[in-house]
Structure 1
Protein backbone atom coordinates (compact mmCIF):
# COMPACT_ATOMS: atom_id res chain seq x y z
CA UNK A 1 0.00 0.00 0.00
CA UNK A 2 0.94 3.63 -0.23
CA UNK A 3 -0.19 6.95 1.23
CA UNK A 4 -1.49 9.83 -0.81
CA UNK A 5 -0.69 13.24 0.61
CA UNK A 6 -1.57 16.70 -0.66
CA UNK A 7 1.24 18.37 -2.56
CA UNK A 8 1.71 21.94 -1.39
CA UNK A 9 3.45 24.38 -3.66
CA UNK A 10 4.93 27.35 -1.85
CA UNK A 11 6.36 30.57 -3.21
CA UNK A 12 9.83 31.16 -1.87
CA UNK A 13 10.43 34.40 -0.03
CA UNK A 14 13.68 36.05 -1.04
CA UNK A 15 15.58 38.90 0.60
CA UNK A 16 17.70 40.96 -1.77
CA UNK A 17 20.94 42.19 -0.25
CA UNK A 18 20.35 45.71 -1.52
CA UNK A 19 17.43 47.48 -3.10
CA UNK A 20 17.70 49.64 -6.24
CA UNK A 21 19.26 52.68 -4.54
CA UNK A 22 21.50 50.54 -2.36
CA UNK A 23 20.01 51.63 0.96
CA UNK A 24 18.72 48.40 2.44
CA UNK A 25 17.11 45.02 2.03
CA UNK A 26 14.00 44.19 0.12
CA UNK A 27 11.54 41.34 0.69
CA UNK A 28 10.32 39.70 -2.50
CA UNK A 29 7.40 37.29 -2.48
CA UNK A 30 5.11 36.53 -5.41
CA UNK A 31 2.36 35.25 -3.13
CA UNK A 32 0.77 33.24 -5.94
CA UNK A 33 0.30 29.99 -4.03
CA UNK A 34 -0.83 31.58 -0.68
CA UNK A 35 1.02 28.85 1.28
CA UNK A 36 4.26 29.32 3.20
CA UNK A 37 6.36 26.89 5.20
CA UNK A 38 6.79 27.72 8.88
CA UNK A 39 8.37 26.24 11.95
CA UNK A 40 6.78 26.88 15.35
CA UNK A 41 7.61 25.95 18.93
CA UNK A 42 4.91 24.74 21.33
CA UNK A 43 5.41 24.73 25.08
CA UNK A 44 3.32 23.74 28.08
CA UNK A 45 1.52 20.96 29.90
CA UNK A 46 -0.33 18.16 28.16
CA UNK A 47 -3.74 19.41 27.08
CA UNK A 48 -2.83 23.10 27.40
CA UNK A 49 0.03 23.63 24.98
CA UNK A 50 0.88 27.21 24.00
CA UNK A 51 1.99 28.07 20.47
CA UNK A 52 4.87 30.50 20.08
CA UNK A 53 4.92 32.73 16.99
CA UNK A 54 5.71 30.85 13.79
CA UNK A 55 8.89 31.64 11.87
CA UNK A 56 9.08 31.73 8.11
CA UNK A 57 12.44 31.11 6.44
CA UNK A 58 13.52 33.51 3.74
CA UNK A 59 16.46 33.00 1.41
CA UNK A 60 19.15 35.49 0.50
CA UNK A 61 19.45 33.88 -2.90
CA UNK A 62 17.03 31.74 -4.82
CA UNK A 63 18.85 28.56 -3.75
CA UNK A 64 17.35 25.79 -1.65
CA UNK A 65 18.95 25.65 1.80
CA UNK A 66 21.35 22.80 2.45
CA UNK A 67 20.97 20.86 5.69
CA UNK A 68 24.20 22.48 6.90
CA UNK A 69 22.91 26.00 6.23
CA UNK A 70 19.66 25.24 8.04
CA UNK A 71 21.49 24.14 11.18
CA UNK A 72 24.29 26.68 11.09
CA UNK A 73 22.11 29.68 10.37
CA UNK A 74 23.77 30.13 6.98
CA UNK A 75 21.89 31.86 4.21
CA UNK A 76 18.52 31.17 5.80
CA UNK A 77 16.99 34.15 7.58
CA UNK A 78 14.03 33.49 9.84
CA UNK A 79 11.33 36.11 10.25
CA UNK A 80 9.35 35.74 13.49
CA UNK A 81 6.42 36.22 13.15
CA UNK A 82 5.90 36.35 9.37
CA UNK A 83 5.67 39.99 8.20
CA UNK A 84 2.19 41.51 7.81
CA UNK A 85 2.92 41.90 4.09
CA UNK A 86 2.81 38.09 3.94
CA UNK A 87 0.37 37.04 6.68
CA UNK A 88 -2.35 39.07 8.41
CA UNK A 89 -2.71 39.19 12.20
CA UNK A 90 -6.03 37.32 11.95
CA UNK A 91 -4.47 34.49 9.90
CA UNK A 92 -1.55 34.39 12.34
CA UNK A 93 -3.95 34.04 15.31
CA UNK A 94 -5.84 31.23 13.56
CA UNK A 95 -2.56 29.52 12.66
CA UNK A 96 -1.44 29.56 16.32
CA UNK A 97 -4.84 28.22 17.48
CA UNK A 98 -4.58 25.42 14.90
CA UNK A 99 -1.03 24.59 16.01
CA UNK A 100 -2.21 24.41 19.65
CA UNK A 101 -5.11 22.16 18.64
CA UNK A 102 -2.69 19.85 16.81
CA UNK A 103 -0.25 19.80 19.76
CA UNK A 104 -3.06 18.97 22.20
CA UNK A 105 -4.59 16.34 19.89
CA UNK A 106 -1.16 14.65 19.67
CA UNK A 107 -0.93 14.94 23.49
CA UNK A 108 2.40 16.74 23.28
CA UNK A 109 3.83 18.09 26.51
CA UNK A 110 6.87 20.03 27.61
CA UNK A 111 8.32 21.36 24.44
CA UNK A 112 8.21 20.49 20.74
CA UNK A 113 8.72 22.08 17.35
CA UNK A 114 6.18 21.70 14.57
CA UNK A 115 7.02 22.25 10.91
CA UNK A 116 4.00 23.00 8.76
CA UNK A 117 2.56 24.65 5.69
CA UNK A 118 0.26 27.56 6.52
CA UNK A 119 -2.27 29.28 4.30
CA UNK A 120 -1.50 33.00 4.66
CA UNK A 121 -5.15 34.00 4.13
CA UNK A 122 -7.00 31.52 6.35
CA UNK A 123 -4.36 30.30 8.83
CA UNK A 124 -5.15 26.70 7.82
CA UNK A 125 -2.28 24.38 8.81
CA UNK A 126 -0.95 21.22 7.17
CA UNK A 127 1.66 19.39 9.26
CA UNK A 128 5.01 18.43 7.76
CA UNK A 129 6.61 16.98 10.88
CA UNK A 130 6.61 17.17 14.66
CA UNK A 131 9.95 17.26 16.47
CA UNK A 132 9.51 16.23 20.10
CA UNK A 133 13.26 16.63 20.68
CA UNK A 134 14.06 19.80 18.73
CA UNK A 135 17.68 20.70 18.06
CA UNK A 136 19.12 23.45 20.25
CA UNK A 137 21.98 25.10 18.36
CA UNK A 138 22.98 28.75 18.82
CA UNK A 139 21.05 29.61 15.66
CA UNK A 140 17.86 27.85 16.79
CA UNK A 141 14.76 29.77 15.86
CA UNK A 142 12.99 28.75 19.06
CA UNK A 143 14.91 31.35 21.08
CA UNK A 144 13.74 34.03 18.60
CA UNK A 145 10.17 32.78 19.01
CA UNK A 146 10.40 32.99 22.80
CA UNK A 147 11.74 36.55 22.48
CA UNK A 148 8.81 37.43 20.19
CA UNK A 149 6.33 36.60 22.98
CA UNK A 150 4.48 39.41 24.72
CA UNK A 151 6.15 40.00 27.15
CA UNK A 152 9.40 38.56 25.73
CA UNK A 153 10.61 35.31 27.26
CA UNK A 154 14.39 35.64 27.55
CA UNK A 155 16.61 32.58 27.03
CA UNK A 156 17.20 32.01 30.77
CA UNK A 157 13.42 32.18 31.44
CA UNK A 158 12.72 29.93 28.46
CA UNK A 159 15.13 27.21 29.63
CA UNK A 160 13.91 27.60 33.24
CA UNK A 161 10.35 27.00 32.00
CA UNK A 162 11.49 23.88 30.11
CA UNK A 163 13.22 22.57 33.24
CA UNK A 164 10.14 23.29 35.39
CA UNK A 165 7.89 21.48 32.92
CA UNK A 166 10.27 18.52 32.81
CA UNK A 167 10.55 18.24 36.60
CA UNK A 168 6.77 18.48 37.01
CA UNK A 169 6.40 15.68 34.50
CA UNK A 170 8.96 13.42 36.14
CA UNK A 171 7.46 13.86 39.62
CA UNK A 172 3.94 12.79 38.59
Structure 2
Protein backbone atom coordinates (compact mmCIF):
# COMPACT_ATOMS: atom_id res chain seq x y z
CA UNK A 1 0.00 0.00 0.00
CA UNK A 2 1.43 3.36 -1.05
CA UNK A 3 1.53 5.47 2.10
CA UNK A 4 2.29 8.60 0.08
CA UNK A 5 -1.33 8.56 -1.04
CA UNK A 6 -4.30 9.62 1.06
CA UNK A 7 -6.48 6.59 1.80
CA UNK A 8 -9.93 7.97 1.05
CA UNK A 9 -12.86 5.86 2.19
CA UNK A 10 -16.10 6.39 0.27
CA UNK A 11 -19.15 5.25 2.25
CA UNK A 12 -22.23 5.01 0.03
CA UNK A 13 -25.57 3.28 -0.53
CA UNK A 14 -27.54 3.22 2.69
CA UNK A 15 -30.98 2.30 3.98
CA UNK A 16 -33.03 5.10 2.48
CA UNK A 17 -35.08 5.97 -0.58
CA UNK A 18 -32.02 7.87 -1.84
CA UNK A 19 -29.91 4.72 -2.15
CA UNK A 20 -29.65 4.98 -5.94
CA UNK A 21 -28.75 8.68 -5.74
CA UNK A 22 -25.90 7.75 -3.40
CA UNK A 23 -24.57 5.16 -5.86
CA UNK A 24 -24.40 7.79 -8.59
CA UNK A 25 -22.66 10.21 -6.27
CA UNK A 26 -20.11 7.61 -5.18
CA UNK A 27 -19.33 6.61 -8.75
CA UNK A 28 -18.80 10.25 -9.73
CA UNK A 29 -16.45 10.93 -6.81
CA UNK A 30 -14.45 7.74 -7.38
CA UNK A 31 -14.01 8.50 -11.08
CA UNK A 32 -13.01 12.12 -10.41
CA UNK A 33 -10.36 11.72 -7.71
CA UNK A 34 -6.72 11.93 -8.75
CA UNK A 35 -5.33 8.38 -8.61
CA UNK A 36 -1.87 9.86 -8.06
CA UNK A 37 -3.08 11.45 -4.79
CA UNK A 38 -5.68 9.04 -3.50
CA UNK A 39 -6.12 5.37 -2.80
CA UNK A 40 -9.89 4.95 -2.78
CA UNK A 41 -11.49 2.38 -0.50
CA UNK A 42 -15.18 1.79 -1.31
CA UNK A 43 -17.49 0.88 1.56
CA UNK A 44 -20.98 -0.11 0.48
CA UNK A 45 -24.01 -0.07 2.79
CA UNK A 46 -26.79 -2.25 1.40
CA UNK A 47 -30.51 -1.50 1.66
CA UNK A 48 -30.59 -4.13 4.40
CA UNK A 49 -27.90 -2.27 6.36
CA UNK A 50 -25.03 -4.66 5.65
CA UNK A 51 -21.60 -2.98 5.42
CA UNK A 52 -19.27 -4.41 2.75
CA UNK A 53 -15.79 -3.13 2.00
CA UNK A 54 -14.31 -3.50 -1.47
CA UNK A 55 -10.64 -3.71 -2.35
CA UNK A 56 -8.63 -0.50 -2.61
CA UNK A 57 -8.76 1.31 -5.95
CA UNK A 58 -5.42 2.70 -7.01
CA UNK A 59 -6.05 3.59 -10.62
CA UNK A 60 -8.55 1.33 -12.36
CA UNK A 61 -11.81 3.03 -11.46
CA UNK A 62 -15.27 1.61 -12.24
CA UNK A 63 -17.18 2.91 -15.27
CA UNK A 64 -20.69 1.95 -14.22
CA UNK A 65 -22.76 1.76 -11.07
CA UNK A 66 -22.84 -2.05 -11.25
CA UNK A 67 -19.36 -2.58 -9.74
CA UNK A 68 -20.33 -0.41 -6.80
CA UNK A 69 -22.98 -2.88 -5.71
CA UNK A 70 -20.50 -4.93 -3.72
CA UNK A 71 -21.41 -8.52 -2.98
CA UNK A 72 -20.41 -10.74 -0.07
CA UNK A 73 -20.72 -13.86 -2.19
CA UNK A 74 -24.33 -14.59 -1.29
CA UNK A 75 -25.68 -13.35 -4.63
CA UNK A 76 -25.68 -15.18 -7.92
CA UNK A 77 -22.63 -15.45 -10.18
CA UNK A 78 -23.90 -12.92 -12.70
CA UNK A 79 -24.21 -10.21 -10.09
CA UNK A 80 -20.86 -11.10 -8.57
CA UNK A 81 -19.28 -10.93 -12.02
CA UNK A 82 -20.62 -7.41 -12.48
CA UNK A 83 -18.70 -6.41 -9.36
CA UNK A 84 -15.35 -7.33 -10.99
CA UNK A 85 -12.35 -6.61 -8.77
CA UNK A 86 -14.41 -4.70 -6.21
CA UNK A 87 -16.56 -7.71 -5.45
CA UNK A 88 -13.72 -10.23 -5.46
CA UNK A 89 -12.32 -8.99 -2.17
CA UNK A 90 -15.50 -7.53 -0.70
CA UNK A 91 -15.59 -8.02 3.04
CA UNK A 92 -18.96 -8.42 4.76
CA UNK A 93 -17.47 -9.35 8.13
CA UNK A 94 -16.47 -6.60 10.59
CA UNK A 95 -13.56 -4.43 9.50
CA UNK A 96 -11.79 -1.53 11.15
CA UNK A 97 -12.17 1.70 9.23
CA UNK A 98 -9.78 3.58 11.49
CA UNK A 99 -6.96 1.24 10.45
CA UNK A 100 -7.88 1.20 6.77
CA UNK A 101 -8.46 4.85 5.87
CA UNK A 102 -7.10 8.33 6.53
CA UNK A 103 -10.29 10.26 5.81
CA UNK A 104 -13.89 9.36 4.95
CA UNK A 105 -16.17 10.89 2.33
CA UNK A 106 -19.68 9.77 3.35
CA UNK A 107 -22.02 10.18 0.39
CA UNK A 108 -25.10 8.51 1.83
CA UNK A 109 -28.03 10.85 1.31
CA UNK A 110 -31.14 11.12 3.44
CA UNK A 111 -31.89 9.31 6.74
CA UNK A 112 -29.02 7.33 8.27
CA UNK A 113 -26.60 9.26 6.11
CA UNK A 114 -26.84 13.02 6.41
CA UNK A 115 -28.85 13.18 9.63
CA UNK A 116 -25.94 12.88 12.05
CA UNK A 117 -26.07 9.12 12.53
CA UNK A 118 -23.12 8.14 10.34
CA UNK A 119 -21.32 11.30 11.46
CA UNK A 120 -21.66 10.12 15.06
CA UNK A 121 -20.18 6.76 14.13
CA UNK A 122 -17.19 8.45 12.49
CA UNK A 123 -16.75 10.69 15.53
CA UNK A 124 -16.59 7.62 17.77
CA UNK A 125 -14.02 6.11 15.39
CA UNK A 126 -12.06 9.40 15.65
CA UNK A 127 -11.85 9.66 11.86
CA UNK A 128 -11.73 12.82 9.74
CA UNK A 129 -14.74 12.98 7.44
CA UNK A 130 -16.02 15.28 4.73
CA UNK A 131 -18.99 17.45 5.57
CA UNK A 132 -20.96 18.71 8.50
CA UNK A 133 -20.80 17.26 12.03
CA UNK A 134 -23.36 15.48 14.16
CA UNK A 135 -25.42 18.39 15.49
CA UNK A 136 -25.56 20.40 12.28
CA UNK A 137 -26.34 17.30 10.22
CA UNK A 138 -29.22 16.36 12.50
CA UNK A 139 -30.66 19.88 12.57
CA UNK A 140 -30.08 20.34 8.86
CA UNK A 141 -31.95 17.13 8.10
CA UNK A 142 -34.96 17.97 10.27
CA UNK A 143 -36.78 20.79 8.50
CA UNK A 144 -38.79 21.65 11.60
CA UNK A 145 -35.69 22.07 13.77
CA UNK A 146 -33.87 23.88 10.99
CA UNK A 147 -36.66 26.43 10.72
CA UNK A 148 -36.61 26.88 14.48
CA UNK A 149 -32.89 27.71 14.35
CA UNK A 150 -33.37 30.06 11.40
CA UNK A 151 -36.12 31.89 13.26
CA UNK A 152 -33.84 32.27 16.29
CA UNK A 153 -31.21 34.11 14.24
CA UNK A 154 -33.78 36.17 12.33
CA UNK A 155 -33.57 34.67 8.85
CA UNK A 156 -36.58 35.36 6.57
CA UNK A 157 -38.82 32.33 6.00
CA UNK A 158 -42.28 31.51 4.68
CA UNK A 159 -44.95 30.82 7.30
CA UNK A 160 -45.14 27.18 8.36
CA UNK A 161 -46.72 24.73 10.78
CA UNK A 162 -44.92 21.79 12.35
CA UNK A 163 -46.94 18.81 13.55
CA UNK A 164 -46.54 15.22 14.62
CA UNK A 165 -47.93 12.25 12.72
CA UNK A 166 -49.87 11.29 15.85
CA UNK A 167 -51.56 14.71 15.86
CA UNK A 168 -52.66 14.24 12.28
CA UNK A 169 -53.95 10.73 12.92
CA UNK A 170 -55.90 11.71 16.04
CA UNK A 171 -57.18 15.15 14.99
CA UNK A 172 -57.51 15.13 11.21
CA UNK A 173 -60.25 17.73 10.82
CA UNK A 174 -58.82 20.02 13.50
CA UNK A 175 -55.37 19.80 11.89
CA UNK A 176 -56.67 20.65 8.43
CA UNK A 177 -58.80 23.48 9.84
CA UNK A 178 -55.71 25.03 11.39
CA UNK A 179 -53.69 24.71 8.18
CA UNK A 180 -56.48 26.30 6.16
CA UNK A 181 -56.83 29.19 8.61
CA UNK A 182 -53.12 29.91 9.10
CA UNK A 183 -51.62 29.04 5.71
CA UNK A 184 -54.41 28.65 3.16
CA UNK A 185 -54.10 27.06 -0.28
CA UNK A 186 -52.02 26.09 -2.05
CA UNK A 187 -49.54 24.82 0.52
CA UNK A 188 -46.68 22.35 0.61
CA UNK A 189 -46.65 19.30 2.87
CA UNK A 190 -43.34 17.63 3.68
CA UNK A 191 -41.87 14.95 5.94
CA UNK A 192 -39.49 16.82 8.25
CA UNK A 193 -36.69 14.26 7.88
CA UNK A 194 -36.33 13.37 4.22
CA UNK A 195 -34.30 14.66 1.31
CA UNK A 196 -34.50 14.84 -2.48
CA UNK A 197 -38.14 16.02 -2.31
CA UNK A 198 -39.30 12.53 -1.30
CA UNK A 199 -42.81 12.57 0.20
CA UNK A 200 -43.50 16.21 -0.68
CA UNK A 201 -46.83 17.30 -2.16
CA UNK A 202 -48.51 20.52 -3.18
CA UNK A 203 -52.08 20.70 -1.88
CA UNK A 204 -54.64 22.98 -3.53
CA UNK A 205 -57.72 21.93 -1.56
CA UNK A 206 -58.81 19.98 1.50
CA UNK A 207 -58.94 16.62 -0.27
CA UNK A 208 -55.41 17.07 -1.63
CA UNK A 209 -54.25 18.25 1.79
CA UNK A 210 -55.46 15.03 3.39
CA UNK A 211 -53.68 12.98 0.72
CA UNK A 212 -50.50 15.03 1.15
CA UNK A 213 -50.47 14.58 4.92
CA UNK A 214 -51.01 10.84 4.52
CA UNK A 215 -48.09 10.62 2.09
CA UNK A 216 -45.72 12.66 4.25
CA UNK A 217 -46.67 10.61 7.31
CA UNK A 218 -45.46 7.47 5.55
CA UNK A 219 -41.89 8.80 5.68
CA UNK A 220 -41.61 10.50 9.07
CA UNK A 221 -43.37 11.11 12.39
CA UNK A 222 -42.60 14.84 12.13
CA UNK A 223 -44.30 16.85 9.38
CA UNK A 224 -44.01 20.37 8.03
CA UNK A 225 -46.67 22.36 6.15
CA UNK A 226 -45.53 25.56 4.42
CA UNK A 227 -47.44 28.39 2.84
CA UNK A 228 -47.07 28.86 -0.90
CA UNK A 229 -45.32 31.94 -2.21
CA UNK A 230 -45.08 32.86 -5.85
CA UNK A 231 -41.33 32.89 -6.23
CA UNK A 232 -38.29 31.81 -8.18
CA UNK A 233 -36.19 28.97 -6.73
CA UNK A 234 -32.57 30.04 -6.27
CA UNK A 235 -29.66 28.07 -4.83
CA UNK A 236 -26.09 28.78 -3.74
CA UNK A 237 -23.19 26.64 -2.57
CA UNK A 238 -21.15 27.24 0.57
CA UNK A 239 -17.65 25.81 1.03
CA UNK A 240 -15.43 25.98 4.10
CA UNK A 241 -15.26 25.50 7.84
CA UNK A 242 -14.95 28.89 9.54
CA UNK A 243 -13.69 30.87 6.54
CA UNK A 244 -16.48 30.51 3.99
CA UNK A 245 -16.60 30.79 0.22
CA UNK A 246 -19.84 30.97 -1.72
CA UNK A 247 -20.49 29.97 -5.31
CA UNK A 248 -22.46 31.82 -7.93
CA UNK A 249 -26.25 31.74 -7.59
CA UNK A 250 -28.17 29.23 -9.68
CA UNK A 251 -31.86 28.93 -10.53
CA UNK A 252 -34.06 25.87 -10.76
CA UNK A 253 -36.71 26.25 -13.45
CA UNK A 254 -39.03 23.30 -12.98
CA UNK A 255 -41.46 22.26 -15.68
CA UNK A 256 -43.67 20.60 -13.04
CA UNK A 257 -45.55 22.03 -10.07
CA UNK A 258 -42.36 21.97 -8.03
CA UNK A 259 -38.82 20.57 -8.04
CA UNK A 260 -39.67 16.98 -7.04
CA UNK A 261 -37.65 13.75 -7.04
CA UNK A 262 -38.44 12.98 -10.68
CA UNK A 263 -37.31 16.45 -11.73
CA UNK A 264 -34.12 16.32 -9.67
CA UNK A 265 -32.84 12.92 -10.71
CA UNK A 266 -34.66 11.95 -13.89
CA UNK A 267 -34.63 15.24 -15.74
CA UNK A 268 -38.35 15.68 -16.34
CA UNK A 269 -37.71 18.88 -18.31
CA UNK A 270 -36.18 20.81 -15.42
CA UNK A 271 -33.70 23.50 -16.37
CA UNK A 272 -30.80 24.67 -14.22
CA UNK A 273 -29.70 28.20 -15.06
CA UNK A 274 -26.18 28.98 -13.87
CA UNK A 275 -25.58 31.74 -13.08
CA UNK A 276 -29.12 32.85 -12.34
CA UNK A 277 -30.29 36.02 -13.99
CA UNK A 278 -30.92 38.07 -10.87
CA UNK A 279 -29.93 41.59 -9.79
CA UNK A 280 -26.55 41.91 -8.10
CA UNK A 281 -28.10 42.97 -4.79
CA UNK A 282 -30.17 39.77 -4.71
CA UNK A 283 -27.10 37.59 -5.33
CA UNK A 284 -25.21 39.44 -2.60
CA UNK A 285 -28.04 39.08 -0.10
CA UNK A 286 -28.35 35.36 -0.88
CA UNK A 287 -24.62 34.89 -0.21
CA UNK A 288 -24.87 36.75 3.11
CA UNK A 289 -27.93 34.83 4.32
CA UNK A 290 -26.41 31.52 3.18
CA UNK A 291 -23.28 32.12 5.24
CA UNK A 292 -25.36 33.16 8.25
CA UNK A 293 -27.48 30.00 7.96
CA UNK A 294 -24.36 27.84 7.59
CA UNK A 295 -22.88 29.38 10.74
CA UNK A 296 -26.16 29.16 12.66
CA UNK A 297 -26.15 25.39 12.18
CA UNK A 298 -22.40 25.23 12.85
CA UNK A 299 -22.05 23.47 9.50
CA UNK A 300 -18.69 22.60 7.97
CA UNK A 301 -17.27 21.49 4.67
CA UNK A 302 -20.13 21.95 2.27
CA UNK A 303 -23.78 22.87 2.03
CA UNK A 304 -26.22 23.97 -0.62
CA UNK A 305 -28.62 26.65 0.57
CA UNK A 306 -31.98 27.01 -1.18
CA UNK A 307 -34.06 30.18 -1.43
CA UNK A 308 -37.34 31.55 -2.73
CA UNK A 309 -37.24 35.00 -4.32
CA UNK A 310 -40.50 36.88 -4.87
CA UNK A 311 -39.53 39.04 -7.81
CA UNK A 312 -42.61 41.25 -7.50
CA UNK A 313 -41.83 42.57 -4.02
CA UNK A 314 -38.09 41.76 -4.10
CA UNK A 315 -38.33 39.59 -1.00
CA UNK A 316 -36.08 36.62 -0.22
CA UNK A 317 -37.00 33.60 1.91
CA UNK A 318 -34.55 30.91 2.94
CA UNK A 319 -35.98 27.47 2.26
CA UNK A 320 -33.42 25.00 3.61
CA UNK A 321 -29.78 24.02 3.98
CA UNK A 322 -28.78 20.70 2.43
CA UNK A 323 -25.68 19.47 4.27
CA UNK A 324 -24.90 16.65 1.81
CA UNK A 325 -26.27 17.85 -1.52
CA UNK A 326 -26.26 15.82 -4.70
CA UNK A 327 -22.62 15.58 -5.73
CA UNK A 328 -22.40 14.21 -9.25
CA UNK A 329 -20.74 16.49 -11.85
CA UNK A 330 -24.26 17.28 -13.09
CA UNK A 331 -25.66 18.18 -9.66
CA UNK A 332 -26.36 21.77 -8.73
CA UNK A 333 -23.69 22.12 -6.03
CA UNK A 334 -20.65 21.14 -8.16
CA UNK A 335 -22.04 23.06 -11.14
CA UNK A 336 -22.38 26.22 -9.05
CA UNK A 337 -18.73 26.03 -7.99
CA UNK A 338 -17.61 25.09 -11.47
CA UNK A 339 -19.14 28.38 -12.63
CA UNK A 340 -17.21 30.06 -9.81
CA UNK A 341 -13.94 28.60 -11.12
CA UNK A 342 -13.56 25.49 -8.94
CA UNK A 343 -13.54 22.24 -10.91
CA UNK A 344 -15.11 19.01 -9.68
CA UNK A 345 -11.80 17.27 -8.83
CA UNK A 346 -10.53 20.43 -7.11
CA UNK A 347 -13.76 20.64 -5.11
CA UNK A 348 -13.19 17.11 -3.84
CA UNK A 349 -9.59 18.00 -2.91
CA UNK A 350 -10.73 21.05 -0.98
CA UNK A 351 -13.37 19.08 0.90
CA UNK A 352 -10.85 16.43 1.92
CA UNK A 353 -8.45 19.12 3.16
CA UNK A 354 -11.26 20.81 5.08
CA UNK A 355 -12.15 17.49 6.71
CA UNK A 356 -8.58 16.93 7.84
CA UNK A 357 -8.30 20.53 9.03
CA UNK A 358 -11.49 20.32 11.09
CA UNK A 359 -10.47 16.99 12.60
CA UNK A 360 -7.09 18.42 13.61
CA UNK A 361 -8.83 21.35 15.27
CA UNK A 362 -11.05 18.97 17.27
CA UNK A 363 -7.99 17.13 18.55
CA UNK A 364 -7.04 20.30 20.42
CA UNK A 365 -10.05 19.90 22.72
CA UNK A 366 -9.21 18.77 26.25
CA UNK A 367 -10.66 15.36 27.08
CA UNK A 368 -9.70 15.31 30.76
CA UNK A 369 -10.06 17.78 33.60
CA UNK A 370 -6.56 17.06 34.88
CA UNK A 371 -4.60 20.23 35.49
CA UNK A 372 -7.60 22.48 35.01
CA UNK A 373 -8.61 24.90 37.79
Q: TM-score, normalised by structure 2?
A: 0.34
Report the equivalent of 2:291: 100
Q: Distance between the aligned counterparts of 1:123 and 1:97, measured in 2? A: 16
Unaligned runs of 5+ in 1: 11-34
Report the equivalent of 2:9: none
Q: Which has the larger radius of gyration?
A: 2
The aligned runs of 1:16-165 (5 Å cut-off) are: 35-46=231-242, 48-59=243-254, 61=255, 64-83=258-277, 87-120=278-311, 124-149=315-340, 152-165=341-354
Which stretches of structure 1, 4 residues or longer, exceed 3 Å deviation after superposition?
Answer: 2-6, 61-66, 119-125
- Do the aligned residues in 1 keep the contact of 2:233 with 2:253 (CA within 8 Å)? no
- Do the aligned residues in 2 keep the contact of 1:99 with 1:125 (CA within 8 Å)? no
Following superposition, the deviation at residue 162 of structure 1 comes to 0.8
Task: Say which structure is richer in strand.
Answer: 1
Q: Distance between the aligned counterparts of 2:311 and 2:338, measured in 1? A: 22
Following superposition, the deviation at residue 55 of structure 1 comes to 1.5
Greater RCO (Cα-Cα under 8 Å, separation 6 or more): 1
| Residues 90 and 128 of structure 1: CA distance in aligned 2, closer, same or farther (over 3 Å) | closer
The number of equivalent residue pairs is 140
Report the equivalent of 1:9: 229
Q: Distance between the aligned counterparts of 1:63 and 1:121, measured in 2? A: 20
Unaligned runs of 5+ in 2: 1-160, 163-181, 184-225, 362-373
Cα RMSD of the aligned pairs, angstroms, is 2.6
Task: Say which structure is richer in helix.
Answer: 2
